[in-house]
Structure 1
């Protein structure tokens, strides 16, 4: 088998099918590794896929360059040709795409018809007219590969000027054979098989209990929302100790954050603040229900802390509501600061004082 035959087999024969299948399989496996690496959150799997893809591309480029180097330079011959018809298919640049219908008149074979498309300089376009002769180059092994010689030698220019040719019959028309899709099909088949192999190998991590738990955690975390909000009342008679004002302010904050359960609640003379998390991760047993607190008892607890713990009066005060923990019920802590120092008391969810921490 000669060099030309070997090159043809490498591009169209069984070798091309095998090469297409392997290239498709490697590409499918590499891309699937990269996607699966992202889904299961494993960087090594993603990097493996990326590395295989790079190696596949490099190997294909090297193989293609070797095939091109082994293919012989196609031989061309010059011949006169009769322009049967021509039509410009564009015209937005200096080189105009033109579709030619030609009768090529070789010296070593019968004349034949062929249709080609070639860009012709706008200034040279008047030189090409129907039923006029021109000079072309064609390939004897692939006669449909024809190109008009825009700058022929003087001898060929003279021959074209005196040459007369009849139109070849339509039955002699040649055209490039349709490309076979075997290599393409082999590549697609390899792509699918490569992807399937990777999915099968990683099926445990993709579809197992661990993957389901990971997706559930991801879904839960994506639906969570941490919030923090506060409201301040102003004016000499706007203290939150005014009857009914604490509950009214708590209801306002509940509407603002969109939930009645919070993780922290702080009340001061003119400010109430809450914080927490929505989306299901907040422990219901440790949450503070703003609707269930005995706000009407809070002013009495503040008064008791300011007058009964020895800090003197007047003084600043602060209420911190702590959620239940370690078997303890919800705790209401009232801290006060006065001339005599700092002190605090603790009460339960019903407003009953359980502990005192004096100065």
Structure 2
């Protein structure tokens, strides 16, 4: 007995199944950027948190996940490039509906084309409209005019992927001179369906932020400890001890004048000596050093985190340009507790060059209180 008319045929069932699998695949493709960006954000946050807390396992986990993502991304890119052969481009003729040069400062200017493309007969596709931008040399620009015929290259499976051939062969140049193409209706316009770059960027950004937020929340107790700097240090400890330490930064752009680098280095030194109160702080271009005595009261010491590090680069720049040192070779900042009637720490910036040495003094707020140019006594 036949089953015609009693249910869907085998081809129809296979088509529905294939369509369902395609829908699931598109859904997974949509979730993949969010998941990958979330994992990347968590890995970066773990690496930063590990460095702040000096937690080696967290640093290893964050760095390992980042390295794994890079390796998987490289392997996935190679696999896709090996599996997906780029479609072959085809040459055809097109009618210029409109064009507009959007800039003109360089030899090659971006030109916005609106074309009617006449596909090859074997593609069995009607003419269609497309809009795109291509760089054209200024010398060649007069050859392109509305209602003119040009030679283009397009891809049958991606009809929006079109470019004008500025140097076509003699045969196609002759065809372009002899051809007449009617304008396609506006309804035939095509565009890249995956052109929503802004939406993908937003998804990736949200994924990065979400992953980083999860890691920060997991370590919020260690990152935002309730005790302040004064409580973490113990200048009034019954056991007196003196300490001194220094650190040197390295790298092509690791000068301590870089914004934020001084304060971060001061945090590292504070964690190393176990006290925020020091008796002296020295800062050079790539070196920072502290000395201290835990027996001294806070009034006779400098609190590392109370200093205006963000203003120190401006003081160095002022000393290097206004005190008569035309070619300053080195600079140095010395911070010490205020003496006598001074309130707060004293900051002294010294610069040296072939002309000699000059200095300026500032208070704990970064306000300049004294200057000594080259050759002045004091």
Give the TM-score category using the shorter length.
Answer: 0.5 to 0.7
Q: Which residue, out of 190, 196, 199, partners 1:179? A: 196
Match of 2:168 in 1: 152
Change (3 A) 1:24 1:88: same
| Distance apart, 1:72 and its partner CA | 2.6
1:167-246 alignment, distance < 5 Å = 167-177=183-193, 178-179=195-196, 187-188=204-205, 190-207=207-224, 216-217=232-233, 221-222=275-276, 224-226=278-280
Match of 1:39 in 2: 52
Q: Which residue, out of 22, 27, 38, partners 2:40? A: 27
| Distance apart, 1:134 and its partner CA | 0.9
> CA–CA distance in 1 between the matches of 2:45 and 2:231?
19
Change (3 A) 1:118 1:184: closer
Please tell me whether the aligned partners of residues 27 and 53 of structure 1 are also in contact (alpha carbons under 8 angstroms): yes
CA-to-aligned-CA distance 1:244-297 (integer Å, 9 cap, x gap): xxxxxxxxxxxxxxxxxx96xxxxxxxxxxxx93259xxxxxxxxx9xxxxxxx
Aligned residues: CA RMSD: 4.0
Please tell me whether the aligned partners of residues 9 and 15 of structure 1 are also in contact (alpha carbons under 8 angstroms): no
Please tell me whether the aligned partners of residues 81 and 104 of structure 1 are also in contact (alpha carbons under 8 angstroms): yes
Match of 1:86 in 2: 99
Match of 1:65 in 2: 78
| Distance apart, 1:27 and its partner CA | 1.1
Please tell me whether the aligned partners of residues 17 and 182 of structure 1 are also in contact (alpha carbons under 8 angstroms): no
TM-score of the superposed pair, with normalisation by structure 2: 0.51
Change (3 A) 1:169 1:19: closer
Match of 2:68 in 1: 55
> CA–CA distance in 2 between the matches of 1:215 and 1:160?
83
| Distance apart, 1:208 and its partner CA | 5.6
Q: What is the number of equivalent residue pairs in this alignment?
A: 231
Q: Which residue, out of 59, 82, 90, partners 1:77? A: 90
Please tell me whether the aligned partners of residues 94 and 121 of structure 1 are also in contact (alpha carbons under 8 angstroms): yes
TM-score of the superposed pair, with normalisation by structure 1: 0.53
The answer to whether residue 182 in structure 2 is matched with residue 166 in structure 1 is yes
Unpaired runs of 5+ in structure 2? Answer: 1-13, 234-269, 282-294, 304-339, 341-378
> CA–CA distance in 2 between the matches of 1:121 and 1:181?
30
The answer to whether residue 300 in structure 2 is matched with residue 277 in structure 1 is yes
CA-to-aligned-CA distance 1:50-89 (integer Å, 9 cap, x gap): 2321221222122122122222312332221111222222
> CA–CA distance in 2 between the matches of 1:29 and 1:103?
48
| Distance apart, 1:222 and its partner CA | 3.6
Please tell me whether the aligned partners of residues 17 and 183 of structure 1 are also in contact (alpha carbons under 8 angstroms): no
CA-to-aligned-CA distance 1:205-248 (integer Å, 9 cap, x gap): 33567x76897335994454459xxxxxxxxxxxxxxxxxxxxx
